[in-house]
A and B are shown apart, each in its own frame.
Chain A
Amino acid sequence: MSGVLLAPLAAAPVIPDFGRGSTCIRDNKLFCWDWVQSNWGGTLRPALIQHIELTLIAVVVGFAISFVLALAAYRWSRLEPPVGIVAGILYTIPSLALFQLLVPVTGLSRTSAEIALVSYTILILFSNILEGLRNVPADVRDAAEGMGLTRWQTLWRVELPMALPTIVAGLRIAVVTVVSLATVAVFIVNEGLGAPIYAGLQNAFKTELIAAGALTVALALFADGALVLLQRVLTPWARTARS
């Protein structure tokens, strides 16, 4: 257990030397822009990229799993309660506890981090995909069947496109959740924006803490905005429906 918590320390970046650099850095002022400039390439940018990778992998894998589960539960409604309960339990386990549970199995690896992150997306994505499909009005489904669309064609051409707004809404929550949770993954693997945040915490260096934290927030906002745009492009009909 303690090994896990010590892990980031062992691999932590060198504690900044307060004696060098600008007066701002030496005095550990609230925010030193010059520190950000000189550490962008070496610390912040790699951390940001890793963070995006962690998030993308978790959301893509989580979506794939949830999608299959939701389609199955849509087809056989008896599957919904068991899937819902398991996804609910995974969602409610505190993230730190889950990370620690996984370490004995998958080690201090990116895999452990991803498994934990994925497990948080499933409840949200599963319920939103399922809800989106179920919200397709019965008359539309009836019309599709009556015109000779097969079940599969109805799913891909009618039900999924119509569920898109609800699905994207789920994706937005999932992405924002994962972006923020991925900072905690630093307790297993020294990757992502969690690393500079943790380092900033360890040596009480405010600029690093604030810069990494701000990047995390910016990433979440950016991803959310991108998904909103994506939905606008994919569902032009949803806008006219409201007016």
Chain B
Amino acid sequence: MNSANTAQAEGPNAYPSAAPLEFRNVSKRYPRSDRPAIADLSFSVPAGEICVLVGPSGCGKTTAMRLVNRMTDLTSGDILLDGESVTQRKPAELRREIGYVIQQIGLFPHQTIAQNIATVPKLLGWEKDRTQRRVTELLELVSLPSEMGDRYPAELSGGQRQRVGVARALAADPPLMLMDEPFGAIDPINRERLQNEFLRLQAEIRKTVVFVTHDIDEAIKMGDRIAILREGGVLAQYATPDELLARPADDFVARFVGADRGLKRLTLSQLHDIVLLDVPTAHVGDAASDARERAAQRDADELVVLDGGEQPIGRLPVARLNGQPVSADDADPLTSTASRETSLRDALSLVVADRNRPLVVLEADGRLAGLVSLELISAALRPADGAGSPEAARGAQR
């Protein structure tokens, strides 16, 4: 068993970088329990995608995950990893091919960070050099300084430990990652940082990921697809985040995603996903008549004033043009601006905060990109089919 394993691990492409996962009519009933923890669960996750399992506490998320790596055995149905039934595999071998980040991280306190990360490579019999190189690589991948390899888990912060947990699960380059509420016990600021880091990492490594959370916002943010489970392990809906928010399958899902699901959909897209409003501009020193004419052409009642370097410095209502050349003193200073990366939801809140005035959007170099108005944002909320929908735009961007 060991030699076969080692041979496999030593090959040039020992593991595919990602494998599809399929649940087929999976049920699980724990002994001495009168109702199933998982009932007839079917869904499939394409290779390289993040599938988020979300649902209320006790709905069977952890159980579903443990059925995959056989820490729990299923009662009926089947789970296929890369087309092969997991029930045909030896549990310990199977688990070495599946990265598992448990709910409480579970780092080994008696081992250094480097030793923790090297756990699976060591089990697979990798050579010392190769393991060493991999550990260094992984520390870098999860943005930890390499000196941290010699520390013990007790010497790390919660967020750092979380990163080590992810690195340890990734060590043998598994085709599938199971992540059980990996960011659950972390403060909101660091959680958001870890989420963003993981998305960036995933864009690079493209694993198949099953990600458990009970936070619908996290699900919407992290998931390519979301499986909503209800009590008793019944699948309520399996859909992309946008579909889920636009068309919840039933009351349970609608209540779970929240009354503000319309607003949540706005978090799925950013300003570079929509076409911005064109706005007339004037440079400091331009003649008032020219400026007035330009505004009239576009039927606009204000202009954005640019400085010599084309950087917007203020907005000038046409009514204030009084024959004098355009001056920065007449313009209202820009109190808030957005960038192309600002989410529609944040843009909406900035617009509302500025008494529904359209918001100035800047390019990365500080030049004017355009304006975004309340009407533009609400137009983006219309049912999502075809190109131009937030989800299609998001797919293209990733």
Contacts and interface: CB of A to CB of B under 8 A. Distances in A.
B107 A143 contact: yes
Given A140-B108, A140-B109, A162-B110, A148 B154 contact: no
B119 A237 contact: no
Contacts of B71: 142, 145-146
Contacts of B119: 147, 149
Given A141-B106, A142-B104, A148-B91, 16 more contacts: A139-B104, A139-B105, A139-B106, A142-B102, A143-B102, A146-B95, A146-B100, A147-B168, A148-B94, A149-B119, A162-B108, A162-B109, A162-B110, A237-B109, A238-B110, A241-B109
A150 B106 contact: no
A170 to B, nearest CB: 18
Contacts of B102: 139, 142-143, 146
Contacts of A237: 109-111, 152, 154
Contacts of B168: 147
B338 interface: no
B95 A158 contact: no
B123 interface: yes
A153 interface: yes
B297 to A, nearest CB: 66
B157 to A, nearest CB: 14
Interface string A220-243: 000000000000000111101101
25 contacts: A137-B104, A137-B106, A141-B106, A142-B71, A142-B102, A142-B106, A143-B102, A143-B105, A143-B107, A145-B95, A146-B100, A147-B95, A147-B119, A147-B168, A148-B91, A148-B92, A148-B94, A148-B120, A149-B92, A149-B123, A158-B110, A162-B110, A237-B111, A237-B154, A241-B109
Interface of B: 69, 71, 91-96, 100, 102-111, 119-120, 123, 151-152, 154-155, 168-169
A161 interface: yes
Interface in A135-188: 137, 139-150, 153, 158, 161-162, 164
A243 B152 CA distance: 12
Contacts of B120: 147-148
A231 to B, nearest CB: 12
Contacts of B69: 146
Contacts of A139: 102-106
A148 B96 contact: yes
Contacts of B104: 137, 139, 142
B20 to A, nearest CB: 21
With most chain B CB atoms within 10 A of its CB, the pick from A148, A162, A164 is: A148
A44 B111 CA distance: 45
Contact of B95 (A141, A148, A235, A243): A148
B371 to A, nearest CB: 51
A158 B110 CA distance: 8
Nearest to B103: A139
Nearest to B154: A241
A64 to B, nearest CB: 23
A4 B92 CA distance: 58
B110 A161 contact: yes
Contacts of B109: 140, 162, 237, 241
A143 B109 CA distance: 12
Nearest to A145: B71
Nearest to B171: A147
Contacts of A144: 106, 108
A150 B92 contact: yes
A147 B169 CA distance: 8
B105 to A, nearest CB: 7
B110 A235 contact: yes
Nearest to B93: A148
Contacts of A236: 152
Contacts of B169: 147
A78 to B, nearest CB: 18
CB-based closest 9 A-B pairs: A143-B106, A148-B95, A148-B96, A139-B104, A146-B100, A139-B106, A241-B154, A237-B152, A148-B92
Contacts of A145: 71, 95
Contacts of A158: 108, 110
Interface in A98-136: none
Contacts of A143: 100, 102, 105-108
